[in-house]
A and B are shown apart, each in its own frame.
Chain A
Amino acid sequence: MTRSSPLLEVKNLHVRFETLRGVLQAVNGVDLTIFPGQIVGLIGESGSGKSVTAKSILNVLSTPPGITDGEIWYRGRNLLELSAKEMSRLRGQSIAMVSQDPMSSLNPVFTVGEQLRDALLWADIVQNTTGEPSAFNLINRFTSAGRRRFRQAAAQVVEDLRQVELPAPHQQVKNYPQQLSGGMRQRVLTAMACAGEPDLIIADEPTTALDVTIQAQILMLLRELAQTRGVSILYISHDLGVVAQLCDRVAVMYAGEIVEEADVRDIFENPQHPYTEALIRATTMASEDDLVEIPGEVPNMLAPPKGCHFWPRCPKMVEQCANEKPRLAPVGQDHESKCGRVHGEWI
């Protein structure tokens, strides 16, 4: 793989929410780099801040409003400094998201076909206008050019659904999302995210709600996308097994921070952070696809523990862990860890 220049570079990202009970630091100084064509896994328990990280890349943190700090570089532009209009033009066209739950990610009162058609129509409008693309064209059936665009998009819908291997696409376009199975909906969502031919897809736990066979099919689909179209994927999951199947590189997130980052084989063969070790142990010990919990509780992020965030649950903690904040530092070839004991910051 050519390690030319990164496609996306997140630098020192902070996201906090102001809640009734105080300030909640959901993301605390995250760095993340994705190269073209690379599949990066971002892994962590629920509430670790991985979804928030993903949403702030696309600036779709809406409820409650988050306060974002840091830099997110994409093709030479800092996304956090883009205007709403510039960001809107980027969304779906350059970076698209396949979200968490296929059950709730499609609008229940519009047909699948119409939702995908609008995505394709908009991609077409954006690509074929030099200036400001006009939202009016999304409802413009009054001119012959408008009608032609609608016809083309409608034909493209069936074609795209066939490409994501949705069975009987001709019939499915007339159905409402709730008439489709979870796996079928996930395929529709994937087709939707690909509508604008983005070069980065952020997949936020897209397979959580699916059973194992369907999950494997969706993963295969994503892999194919990365290989055939050279799309980069940021794959967010709590499931190490899935990440092992799919990703090139893995970042492990805990309590708003990245605690370890390495190539996928390295992480599994040679984990350099107690939390990663615990995760791997939990996964290998898990009998089926159900979650095995790591002992202890995720820290309350309104008042995170002093020192290393993991120390209250860490089997290897020493006194320094509870008092000093460890750095993320190299522990090998392209391998970084945030454990003070491992990289020799203390002891």
Chain B
Amino acid sequence: MRILRFLIKRLLYLIPIMIGLITITFFLMNVIPGNPVRLAIGPQASMETEERVRREFGLDRPIWQQYILYFERMLRGDLGNSLVTRRPVVDDLQRRIPASVELAIAGMFIGVAGGLVLGVLSAVHRDKLIDHASRIAAISGVSVPAFFLSLLAQLILGSALSLFPITGRISFEIDSPTAITGLYLFDSLITGNLAALRSSAHHLILPAFTLSIPILALTARLTRSGMLDVLSQDYVMNARAAAGLPERIAIYKYALKNALIATVSQIGLGFGAILSGSVLVETVFDWPGLGLYTVTAAINQDIQPIVGTTIVAGLMFVIINILTDLTYRVLDPRIEV
């Protein structure tokens, strides 16, 4: 019951965030020097079109009325049209979100799982070889540009060793699985489409692995310091000195849970890195998701899709943070929710 109340409170918090996001994007389109109509319709459109759009969007009215109009449009879910795809941005987003979500989940999963293992090993074998190696790996992981890592992965694992396909979500010869959620792995698994499952998993590995690296580094670092902190606590020494428990249980059952809670409480931040990274990784791997869509739009000065992805990415980030907060509260008995 308390959890439910917490959830509602956090979901209500989405409202001011939404208002803020809409306001920021309004700013981007209007206050910044430049011609918003030109930005919206693109450089090739005629003067007549410009006039018509100006009136249509109410841009001849005072700025506060424009803001209200813009707000109404956003609430109706009208994000305008994309100059590049010539379709409503909302339709484009719907088509692309599943691809990004699938990649982000896979990247997050690999990163968190790998980071946990690395972080725990690092803390338990503090100042040993494995600790040094994993710390150097972690700091290298946050230092390597995502686009460069993607290129290296393509170059070495894709081209030179031919282990993985270089671009796309699924082979051309194979039809996409019947769309249920739009997540290829999930859909092909449910429909029992093994060929699609194999191919989409094969395509997912390289980009997901590349995307996971900064999260892996972050998780490893958080887990290491959380674990070191816990290991120096009296109750860990006590589990061994009073209860006489073997070290393995004292570490991997008792200390690990405390460290996990500390890590989970901060992991939501890492999702921002995943969303940022996916812009670059999707570009290199030609992955048909939100990131590639944003970049294509940005290169073509196509502002409406950018507004759309900014809002969607913001919402996703906030929602993930609510979810991790929730997990953290469920895990940690110290918190009165």
Contact = CB atoms under 8 A, between A and B. Distances in A.
- On whether A and B touch (CB less than 8 Å), the answer reads yes
A299 to B, nearest CB: 26
B332 interface: yes
Given A63-B232, A105-B234, A193 B249 contact: no
In which size bucket is the chain A interface? 35 or more
Interface stretch (A33-41, A107-115, A213-221, A254-262): A107-115
Given A60-B237, A119-B242, A139-B253, 11 more contacts: A60-B241, A92-B240, A92-B243, A96-B242, A98-B242, A101-B234, A105-B235, A108-B235, A108-B258, A108-B334, A176-B333
Interface string A72-99: 0000000000001000100111001111
A123 interface: yes
A107 B234 CA distance: 9
Contacts of B232: 62-63
Contacts of A156: none
Contacts of B331: 109
B241 A91 contact: yes
A118 B239 CA distance: 9
Given A108-B334, A118-B249, A178-B334, A100 B243 contact: no
A59 B106 CA distance: 44
Contacts of B258: 107-109
A58 interface: yes
Nearest to A107: B235
Interface of A: 55, 58, 60, 62-63, 84, 88, 91-93, 96-101, 104-110, 115-116, 118-119, 122-123, 126, 133, 135, 138-139, 176, 178, 189, 192-193, 195-196
Interface of B is mostly: helix
A106 B241 contact: no
B248 interface: yes
Contacts of A58: 241
B244 A135 contact: no
Contact of A99 (B231, B242, B334): B242
A109 B244 contact: no
A115 to B, nearest CB: 7
B166 to A, nearest CB: 44
Contacts of B241: 55, 58, 60, 91-92, 96-97, 99
B245 interface: yes
A58 to B, nearest CB: 5
Contacts of B242: 92, 96-99, 105, 119, 189, 192-193
Given A92-B244, A96-B242, A109-B332, A104 B254 contact: no
Nearest to B241: A97
Interface of B: 231-249, 253-254, 257-258, 261, 331-334
Contact of B244 (A100, A122, A176): A122
Contacts of A135: 246, 248-249
20 contacts: A91-B244, A92-B241, A93-B244, A97-B238, A97-B241, A97-B242, A99-B234, A99-B237, A108-B334, A115-B243, A116-B243, A118-B243, A126-B244, A138-B246, A138-B249, A139-B253, A176-B333, A192-B238, A193-B242, A193-B243
B237 A109 contact: no
Contacts of B234: 99-101, 104-105
Contacts of B231: 62-63
A316 to B, nearest CB: 39
A13 to B, nearest CB: 17
Contacts of B236: 107
B254 to A, nearest CB: 5
A119 B235 contact: no
Residue of B237, B249, B257 with highest tally of chain A CB at under 10 A: B237
Contacts of A108: 235, 258, 333-334
Nearest to A119: B243
A116 B242 CA distance: 10
B244 A123 contact: yes
A133 B247 CA distance: 13
Nearest to B233: A104
Contacts of A110: 254, 257
A133 B240 CA distance: 15
A107 B233 CA distance: 9
Contacts of A115: 239, 243
Nearest to A178: B334
Given A118-B249, A139-B253, A106 B235 contact: yes
Nearest to B260: A109
Given A62-B231, A88-B246, A92-B245, A107 B254 contact: yes
A189 B238 contact: yes
A88 B253 CA distance: 17
A104 B235 contact: yes
A203 B261 CA distance: 31
Contact of A192 (B243, B257, B333): B243
Contacts of A119: 242-245
A105 B333 contact: no
Residue of A62, A93, A96, A108 with highest tally of chain B CB at under 10 A: A108
A72 B331 CA distance: 42
